[in-house]
Chains A and B, each alone.
Chain A
Amino acid sequence: MIRLGLDVGGTFADLAVYDTEQESFSQYKSLTTPDTADCAASCLQKAAEGHGLTLQEFLAKVDLFCFGSTHALNTVLTDRGSRVGILTTKGHRDSYFIAEMDRGGYHDIREASERTFVPLVERELVAEVSERIDFAGRVVVPLYEDEVRAKITALVEAGMEALVIGFLWSHRYPQHELRVAEIAREMYPELHVTAGSEITGTLGEFTRLTTAVINGYIGQRVEQQAASLEKFLRENGLAVPILVMQLLGGVAPLPEVVRRPVMLLKSGPAGGTVAAATVGAQLDLPNVVCLDMGGTSLDVSRIVDGEMQLNRGFAVRKHPIAVPGVEVASIGSGGGSIAVVEQAGSLARLRVGPESASSVPGPASYGRGGEEATVTDANLILGILNPEISLGGEIPLDLEKATEVLDEKVAGPTGQSVVEAAWGIYQVVTAQMADAVEDSLISNGLDPRRFALVSAGAAGSAHATAIASRLGIQKVVIPSFSPIFSAYGLMTTDIRHVYQSTDNTVRIELDGIADADFAKEAAYVSEKLRATAAHPLGLLEEESIAPENRSVSMFIDMRYSGQELNLEVEVPFATVEAGLDSEAFRAILDSWTSKYKRVYGEGAVWNEGAIELTNYRAVAVGRIPSPEMSIELDVARFEPEPSGERRIYLGDWFDAKTYSDSSLEVGAAITGPAIVEGNLMTTLIRPEEEAVVDPYGNLIVNLTPSRAHESSAISSSASTMVVS
C-alpha cells in the first residue's frame, strides 16, 4: 500500500510517497498552479509514473492521503476572500474597526500609521442587534429573533457572502450566537455562517471576532478548492478519506476542516514541525529544535519531551486568531535576505534582512534583475554553493554577477575583499538565526544544550552546524527529505483536534482556603476538564477512530491573580477520567508552582493573593497506525568517494571535498571541511566536524562538546574582515 503526503506551497507542490511494501520513500515536486486539483494532478501523475503505474492504479493503492496547503493563508494575504458581514451586540459595531487601537510597537512614527490595522470587512456590512450578556454570563437583554431575521436579510441584500456572528461574552453564554447561526442557516442554506464561540472560547470580543472573520473570509474559497480536489481524487479512484493538516500539527478529515477553515492557516509550517517530531522519535531525540529556512524567512519550532509545542494563537494581517496552533516563530532571515552596510563616519554595521529579494527578482546570482547582495550570493562566493548546479534544477547561479553586486554593495563600502564581505554576511545571518533559536528556547526556560537541531528547507543546511556550535547544540540532523519536509510531516501525522475553553471563575486563595471549599473547586475543575475533553473526543468518535487509537492531553493555564500570564500545566488524562479530587487538584497546583519557579526564578514569586485558572485545553489525538519500522541506528561506517573538491572561504581558505547527496549510501562518513550537494539542497560540514548518513538517509553531524559553544569562534575568526 502507499501513503501520501501532499503539501501545496506558494511556489512548489511537494509530494512524499512511502511504499509500505517496498519500505521505500520517494519525493516529487512540481510548480504550484492556482487550482489545487490541477496541482495535485500534476504531482500525483509524476509519482504514478515513478512507480510505473497509471494515476488510477496508483491512487487505488493509497491507504493514507494527507494534504496541506498555503491556499487558505494566501487567500487572506492577497485579498481574495468572501464579502463578510458581521452581526454584533448593539453598541459594539465599531469594535472590529477600533481593533483595540493596537499601535504595534513601531519605532518609526510613519510606520506606526502605515501599518495600522486595515479591516477586511466593509462597515456597511456590520449590523447590530439588541442582546447583551454580562461578565458573569447572565442575560441582560434577550435576543429578539424578528430583529435578527430582518438584519440578516438586509446584510444579504447588501451583498454579504459570509456571515460572522460576534456577540459580547458569547464564550460565557453561547446560546445567543448559536441561535442566530441556526436562524441564518435556515433562512439562507447557501450562506457561509460562523459563530465566534463555535471556534474559540477565548476572552475578548475582538479576538473572537477576528478569528471568526478570517474563518468566514476564507470559508467559501476553501470549500471550492476542497470540492474540486475531492472530485478529482474520487474520479481517479482514491478510496480513503482525505485528511487535511491543521495549524495544530495534526490532520482532520476534509469535511471537518471545511467547517472550521481557519484551522487550515499555517498548515505548511505545522507539517514541518510534525516531520521534526517524527525525526526526533525515530532517532530517539526527545528535544528537537527545527529550523526551516526558505527564501524570505526562517521558521523555528520546537519539540520538547517528544511533544510539539502549541501556542494559544497568532495573527494574520493584524487579525488575532485565537486557535491553538503549533508554535512557529518566524524571523526575516532567508536565502534572499539583503545585506546593507550602515555607515556612520568611521564606523560601520553590516545589517542582513529583514528586506528580502524574494524569488522575484531574487538574489543577484539568479540573474533575474536582482541588484542587491543576498545571503545566497554570499554563499555562492564563499564556495558553499556550487555555481555548476542549478537551484532546484531550474535556476542557474551566476557567480560573476554575485561578485559584481557584492563588490559594489558591501565590499566597496567596507573596504574589504569580496570574499571577506561574503563571510561577513554569512556570519551576521548565522548569528541572527542562532538568536532566533535561542530566544525560542530560553524564553521558555529551556537550555539549548539539551536540544538537537533539525534543519529543513532548501537554504538552512549551509548554516546549520554553525548555528548549533554557537548554541552548544551537539547534534545536527539534515533529513534526507529536507526539501519536502512538510509533505513528509503530512505523511507521518496523526489526527488531532483541540478545544480550548476560557473560564476564569476558579481562584485559589494562597492564604488558605477551607477544605470543603477547596473540594468544591476541585469538583468544578474536574467537570470543566471533562466537558472540555468531550468536544475533541466527540470528533474522534464521529470519525470512527478506534478507542485504542485515541488519546487526550489536557492542560490548564494558570496565573497569579492580576497577571496576564497563561502558564500551562499538564493534567494527566487518567486523572481527568478518574475525576479530580482535592489531592489531585493540589498536586496540579504544586506542579504549576514549581514550573513557574523553574521558568521565572524564585524571586519572581510573591506567594500571596490567589492563583487563577484561565484556560482549559484538550488536545485529542487519533493515532493513524503506521507500519512498524525498527531500524538499527548503528551502522558500519565507510569513507565515500568524493565527487570533487573546491576551495571554500570560512574566515580562511579551505579545500573542501564535495559529495553528491544522491550517491551517499547509509554509513557514509564524511569529515569536514566538506560539502554535500544536490540540486535541492547544499549542506556545509565545517572543518573538524564529522557527518554520517544514518539508516533513514539522514545526514547526522555530531559536534564535540569541546567544539560546541565555542565562545565566539564566529566573531573572533571574523577579525580578518575588519572595517578598520
Chain B
Amino acid sequence: MSSGALKAGTPGSEAASDGVDAVTLQVVQNRLETLMSLMTRTLEQLAGTAVGREAGDYSTAFLDADGKVAAFGSAVITHLGHEVMIVPWIYENYGRENIVPGDIFLSNDPYTGGSVHANDVGCVAPIFSEGEILGWVFCDMHFADVGGAVPGSFVPDAGDVMAEAVRFQPIRIYAGGEYREDVVRAFVNNTRIPTRIARDISAEVGALHFGVKAITELAAQYGDANLRVILAKLQAFSEQAFRERILKIPDGVYEWADYMEDGFQEDNVYCARVRLTVAGEDIYLDYRGSSPAAPALLNCTRSGLIGGVMGPVMQQLTIGIPFNAGVMRPLHIRSDTGTWVDAQYPTPTGIATGYGAWAVSDATTGAASLALEASGDEFLRLRATAQAGGTTPLYLFSGPSDQYGDYSIFLNMDGPGGEGEGGLEGLDGGRGNNVCLYGSIPSVEAHEASEPFLYLSREIWQDSAGAGKWRGGFGLKAAVVVWGEKSSPQSGTFCTGRNSAPAQGLHGGYPPPGVYYGPVSGSPVVDELDEGKLSTCSEVEDQYSDRFESLASKVMWVGKRELGKGPGSEVFIMRHPGGAGFGDPLERDPEAVIADVRDGVVSAAAAADAYGVVQAADGSVDLAATEERREQARAARVFDGSDRSGGTK
C-alpha cells in the first residue's frame, strides 16, 4: 500500500491526512450506485429497439481517468469486456492529450474498441474537471441490426468479421461538443432499420449527458482532487475485501468444462475449459484448454472472455463488495489467442455474447462453485450453484413486412430472460440466469404488438427443470403462427448451443433436457381458428408429433425457406431451457415433488422416474412405495459387472 493509503483503525488514531474516511467512502459509493441506475434507466427509456431493453441487454458504467471501472450500472455483465477495453484503446490510438470536453465516441468493433460482438454498440464520453480528465461515462446496448449479410447481423456463413456487420472503431460522434451527424448517418445507413438504430444511439447520448452532468456535480461537491483519491480508495477497498474473501477459499485447483455444439458450418462440439487456481489471495483463471476457434460466428474475442468471467465473479465471489476495477486485480486471466474464447482477428464473432462468452461464464460458474463449496465459510458455500439454462436459443425472424407494413426484423429475446436458474443447496432455481441481471421477457401482448405473430400459447415447459434434490428453474415453450393482414411470410436464423449439451447439474443433480424447436407443417391448426378452435403448443405437439420437424441446432432460413401465413401454414414451436438440478433427485422431499406435479412443472411420469415418488390414488405421497422405488433406483445405479451394451460379447 502506498503511504497515502488508510491504515487500520487502531484506537486513538488521528485523522487521515487526506480526510477520506469510512463515511466518505460509503457516501460516494452509494451516490455512484444510484447515479449508475439512473443513467441505466434513462438509457432503457429512450432506446429505440426492444431487443436491448426487454432482455435487459444494456449497461452503463463510470470509468476512472485511466478507463478502469469505478462504478458499474450494468444489466448484462458481459458488457464489462467492452467497458474495460475502450478507453485504453482510445488513449493508445488517439492520444490522451487529444481528448477534449464534449467528445463522445461510438464503438462496436470486437477487435479494437472492445465490443463483445458488433451488435453491442457502445458510446463513451470523457468528464473533465479543472482541465483534466476525471473519468468517463459509458453505455453499451445490443442493437437489433448492424448490417451485414442477413437481418439481425448473425451471419452464419461469414468467413470473417468484415462480412458480419458494419464495424466502427471508436469514432467521435460528438467532437468538442459539436454533433457529427455525418458520422451517425454513416453508421445507421449501414443498418436495415436506420431510424430505430439512430434512436438507440440518441438514447446512449441522452444517458451520457446525464452521466457527465451528474459526475461533474459530484466532483464539484467533493473537489476534483478529493474525488480522485476517493475513487482510488474505493478500488483499493474492493481489492482488499476481495482478497480477504479469497483467503476463505482453500488453495487448490478447480476445473470445469462447458460444451456447446455445432458451428453452423460443421458439427463440432466446442469446449470452454477453465482451470481455476486459488493461491493465497489471488485467483488464476486459465482458459488455455479451450477449443480452437470455430469457422463461424460462435467465437468471442478477449473482451468477451473478460466479460464472461465477470458474471460469476460478481454474483458468486464478490457479493456485497463494491464492484469496480479493484475486484479485477486479484484475478489473473490466461487464454490462448486463436481459441474460440479468445479469437484472433479476423475470426467471425457475430454471436459471441450468446456462445463464446456465455460458455466462459458457465464454465467459470462451475469452477467457482467447486471452489466455493470447499470454503468453510457458509455464506460462500451457499453460493455454489448448478448451471442456469445456459445460453439463449436465438430465434431471429425477418421478412419484408410486419403487421404494420414495415420491414420486419426481430430477435425473440424470451431466451435469455425465459430460462431457469440452476438449483442451489436448499433452494430451487428461480427465473433467469447469471448473465442478464435484469432479465425478463415481454408479455405475449407486447410480442404481438410488435411482431407479426399470434402466440397460440406460452407455457411452462413441463419437465424442463433439471431434476435434483433442489431442482433447476423451469423453462418455457411457445407456439406461434404468422399473423396480421399486412404481415409477410417470415424467414429467419435460429440457433441453440444446448441441444446435445445442456446445462450441467451439481452433486448428482440432473441436466435439463436439450433445447429443440422447429415447425409443425401441414396441420389444420391455423384453419381451425376460423372455426373457433384454439390449439395450444402442448396440444399441437401431442396431436401432430409426426409433423414436427426438429431443426438442427444452427439453421439459417434466409433466402431458402419461410413460415407461411394463412390457411394450411406452419406452427413454429420455440423452447427456452430450464436450469440444472443440485443434488440427487432421489433425495428430494416427496411433498415438494408432488407440489411440482400440481404446479405443472414436473409430470407424474418424471415424478416417478426421476424422483422415485409414488402417488397414492388421492394424489398424496405413498411414502412406503416411494421409499421402495427409491431403493430400487439406487440399487440400479450400482454397477454389477453385467454387460449393459445390449449386444453380445
> CA–CA, A445 to B483, complex, Å?
41
Q: Which residues of A contact B25 (CB under 8 A)?
A: 347-349
How many whole Å from A705's CB to the nearest CB in chain B?
16
CB–CB A414/B445 < 8 A: no
CB–CB B38/A443 < 8 A: yes
List the A residue with the shortest CB-CB distance to B448: A135
CB–CB A134/B6 < 8 A: no
> Could you write out 25 A-B pairs with CB less than 8 Å apart?
A91-B535, A91-B536, A95-B444, A95-B458, A100-B440, A101-B419, A101-B431, A105-B437, A112-B315, A114-B427, A132-B534, A142-B532, A203-B443, A346-B7, A347-B237, A347-B241, A351-B26, A432-B27, A442-B38, A561-B199, A565-B45, A604-B209, A711-B223, A716-B19, A722-B6
Is A79 at the interface (CB under 8 A from chain B)? no
* Selected contact of A101 from candidates B30, B319, B323, B418, CB within 8 Å: B418
Q: Restricting to A106-124, which residues have a CB under 8 Å from any CB of B?
A: 106-110, 112-117, 122-124
The 0/1 profile, CB within 8 Å of B marked 1, for residues 125-146 of chain A is 0000010101110001110100
Q: Restricting to B1-37, which residues have a CB under 8 Å from any CB of A?
A: 1, 5-16, 19, 21-27, 29-31, 34
CB–CB B241/A342 < 8 A: yes
Is B374 at the interface (CB under 8 A from chain A)? no
Q: Which residues of A contact B417 (CB under 8 A)?
A: 100-101, 103
CB–CB B440/A723 < 8 A: no
> CA–CA, A97 to B536, complex, Å?
17
* Selected contact of A722 from candidates B19, B385, B459, CB within 8 Å: B19
CB–CB B448/A134 < 8 A: yes
List the A residue with the shortest CB-CB distance to B42: A600
Q: Restricting to A3-35, which residues have a CB under 8 Å from any CB of B?
A: none
CB–CB A415/B476 < 8 A: no
Is B206 at the interface (CB under 8 A from chain A)? yes
The 0/1 profile, CB within 8 Å of A marked 1, for residues 518-546 of chain B is 00000000000100111111000000000
CB–CB A344/B244 < 8 A: yes
List the B residue with the shortest CB-CB distance to A115: B430
CB–CB B22/A350 < 8 A: yes
Is B438 at the interface (CB under 8 A from chain A)? yes
CB–CB B244/A134 < 8 A: no
Q: Restricting to B227-252, which residues have a CB under 8 Å from any CB of A?
A: 233, 236-244
Could you say which of B81-89, B449-457, B495-503 contacts chain A? B449-457
Is B492 at the interface (CB under 8 A from chain A)? no
Q: How large is the interface on B (under 10, 10 to 19, 20 to 34, 35 or more residues)?
A: 35 or more
Is B198 at the interface (CB under 8 A from chain A)? yes
CB–CB A600/B14 < 8 A: no
Is A663 at the interface (CB under 8 A from chain B)? no
Q: Which residues of B contact A720 (CB under 8 A)?
A: 15
Q: Which residues of A contact B236 (CB under 8 A)?
A: 347
CB–CB A100/B443 < 8 A: yes
| A residues lining the B interface (CB < 8 Å) | 90-95, 97-110, 112-117, 122-124, 130, 132, 134-136, 140-142, 144, 168-169, 203-207, 341-352, 413-416, 424, 427-428, 431-432, 435, 439, 442-443, 504, 560-565, 600-601, 603-606, 608-609, 711-712, 714-716, 718-724
How many whole Å from B460's CB to the nearest CB in chain A?
5
Could you say which of B48-56, B292-300, B557-565, B621-629 contacts chain A? B48-56
Among A101, A349, A442, A565, max chain B CB count under 10 A is at A101
Is B78 at the interface (CB under 8 A from chain A)? no
Could you say which of B214-222, B262-270, B271-279, B282-290 contacts chain A? B214-222
Knowing A110-B383, A724-B6 touch, does A562 contact B50 (C-beta < 8 A)? yes
CB–CB B15/A428 < 8 A: no
List the B residue with the shortest CB-CB distance to A718: B23
CB–CB A91/B198 < 8 A: no
Q: Which residues of B contact A604 (CB under 8 A)?
A: 46, 202-203, 205-206, 209
List the A residue with the shortest CB-CB distance to B424: A110
Q: Which residues of A contact B512 (CB under 8 A)?
A: none
How many whole Å from A599's CB to the nearest CB in chain B?
9
CB–CB A101/B46 < 8 A: no
Is B599 at the interface (CB under 8 A from chain A)? yes
CB–CB A435/B30 < 8 A: yes
How many whole Å from A606's CB to the nearest CB in chain B?
4
> CA–CA, A134 to B38, complex, Å?
35
How many whole Å from A461's CB to the nearest CB in chain B?
21
List the B residue with the shortest CB-CB distance to A603: B205
The 0/1 profile, CB within 8 Å of A marked 1, for residues 438-480 of chain B is 1111111110110000111111100000000000010010000
List the B residue with the shortest CB-CB distance to A90: B534
Is B75 at the interface (CB under 8 A from chain A)? yes
> CA–CA, A348 to B47, complex, Å?
39
CB–CB B529/A347 < 8 A: no
> CA–CA, A206 to B446, complex, Å?
10
Q: Which residues of A contact B46 (CB under 8 A)?
A: 560, 563, 565, 600, 604
* Selected contact of A113 from candidates B312, B424, B437, B460, CB within 8 Å: B424
Knowing A117-B431, A712-B222 touch, does A204 contact B23 (C-beta < 8 A)? no
Knowing A718-B24, A719-B16 touch, does A431 contact B30 (C-beta < 8 A)? yes
How many whole Å from A708's CB to the nearest CB in chain B?
13
Q: Which residues of A contact B13 (CB under 8 A)?
A: 415, 722-724
Q: Which 8 A-B pairs have the closest CB atoms?
A: A604-B206, A91-B457, A103-B432, A116-B430, A415-B9, A344-B241, A113-B430, A562-B48
CB–CB A110/B440 < 8 A: no
